[in-house]
Amino acid sequence: MEATCLEIRNVSKNFNGLLAVNKVSFSIGIGQIVSIIGPNGAGKTCLLNLITGVYPSSAGKILVQGTEIMDKKPHEIASLGISRTFQTGGLFKEITVLENVMLGLHGTVNSGFFSSMVRLPSVKQSEEEITKKSLWALRNINLETKRDTLAANLSYGEQKLVELARAVVSNPSLLLLDEPGAGLNETEKEKLIKLIQALKKEGMTILLVEHHMDMVMRISDNIIVLNFGQKIAEGCPEEITRNPDVITAYLGIDDAPYAGDS
């Protein structure tokens, strides 16, 4: 039996009468890649927000590696080893690329305010280590030459790469990706798929929200389908493409699921 990385038990979220998430349950094993798909407004991003503590759930339990996180603050949840990228780009535009990636390592260091104010040797050392690790991460995505560029001046694809690098530089156990493929061309999507598969090999558990079915079908171990806040299907890619409820949910919308040989 695989160890569970993330468990969602009967989670609901009520926004003043609007039930954005309705009694959703599923679990993700360590080292799996799981995708959440569904039409726009199905509650996918809301679910990610509940997991990361952006707002509290109205009901149900969320467990990260056995620890309940419902009453924890966002930074406490992140400290459990969860990293996340955002649909609308979560980079800090007013600082440089290198500074953004260095922020990914912020929580991995222990230096205090006062040690930093007097610049103790231990602080200087950890600062050097953070810089080294961040530059290494930038080298891996071929953006080391843009290290001192303001994040706002990067192209859309570059920004997404940097955000991903920032998310993984702290070696999280659980990585949440919110529409990582959005706005990417075929080459960039191919790069992204290879990256995600490489991360899985390193032992990372990945949960992604995605609309690009081709990508979802290729990389997912398990797929969860949401519609109107409810889970309507769960299974491996082949099962999902044949599921009538899923096809109905997508009827009339452009990105219909990949119709494999049936």
Partner 1 sequence: MNYLSQVHSLIIKIMVKKAFSLLAWGLIISFPLIFPKSYFLGILIFAGIWSIMLIGFDVLVGYCGQLSLGHNAFFAIGAYSAGILAVKYNFHHPLLAMAIGVGISLLLAWIIGLPSLRLKGYYLAIATLGFGLIINNVILGLNQLTGGASGLNFIPSFEFAGLSFDTDIRFYFLVWFFVAVILVVSLNLVKSRFGRAFLAIREEETFASMMRIPVFRYKLFAFFYSAVCASIAGSLYAHYAGTITPDGFTFMISIHMVVMLFLGGKGTIWGGIMGAVFLKLLSEWLTAFQEYEMPVWAAIFIMVLIFMPKGILGSLQVAFKNFGVKTIKEGE
List, in sequence order, every residue forming a beta bridge with 96; answer none if it has no partner.
150
CA distance 20 to 43: 5
Among 78, 137, 164, 206, binds partner 1 (CB under 8 A): 78
Contact of 23 with 12, CB cutoff 8 Å: yes
Q: Which of residues 82-141 bind partner 1 (CB under 8 A)?
A: 83-84, 86, 90, 92-95, 99, 102-104, 106-107, 109, 111, 113, 116-119, 123, 127, 130
- Residue 7: CB minimum distance to partner 1, A: 21
Asked if 45 is part of the footprint of partner 1 (rule: CB under 8 A), the reply reads: no
Q: Give the whole-angstrom CA distance, residue 50 versus residue 102.
A: 26
Longest CA–CA span in the chain (Å) reads 68
> Among the candidate windows 64-72, 79-87, 234-242, 245-253, which touches partner 1 by CB under 8 A?
79-87
199 touches 168 (CB < 8 A)? yes
Whole-number CA gyration radius for the chain: 19
Give the DSSP letter of residue 184. Answer: -
Over the window 12 to 41, marking each residue x when it contacts partner 1 by CB under 8 A and - when it does not, the resulting string is ------------------------------
Listed in order, strand segments (DSSP E) in 145-249 are 174-178, 205-209, 222-227, 230-235
CA distance 166 to 2: 28
Based on the shown chain and the rule CB under 8 A, indicate whether residue 206 belongs to the binding site for partner 1. no
Tokens of 148: 């001192």
Q: Which of 74, 87, 157, 200 binds partner 1 (CB under 8 A)?
A: 74
186 by DSSP, 3-state: which?
helix
Establish if 202 lies at the interface with partner 1 (CB under 8 A).
Answer: no
- Contact flag: residue 51 with partner 1 (CB under 8 A): no
Other beta carbons less than 10 A from residue 30's beta carbon: 15
Q: Which is nearer to partner 1, 77 or 217 (CB)?
A: 77
- Number of residues this chain uses to bind partner 1 (CB under 8 A): 34
Q: Is 73 in the site for partner 1 (CB under 8 A)?
A: yes
Q: Is 71 in the site for partner 1 (CB under 8 A)?
A: no
Task: Note the residues at the interface with partner 1 (CB under 8 A).
Answer: 52-54, 73-75, 78-79, 83-84, 86, 90, 92-95, 99, 102-104, 106-107, 109, 111, 113, 116-119, 123, 127, 130, 145, 148
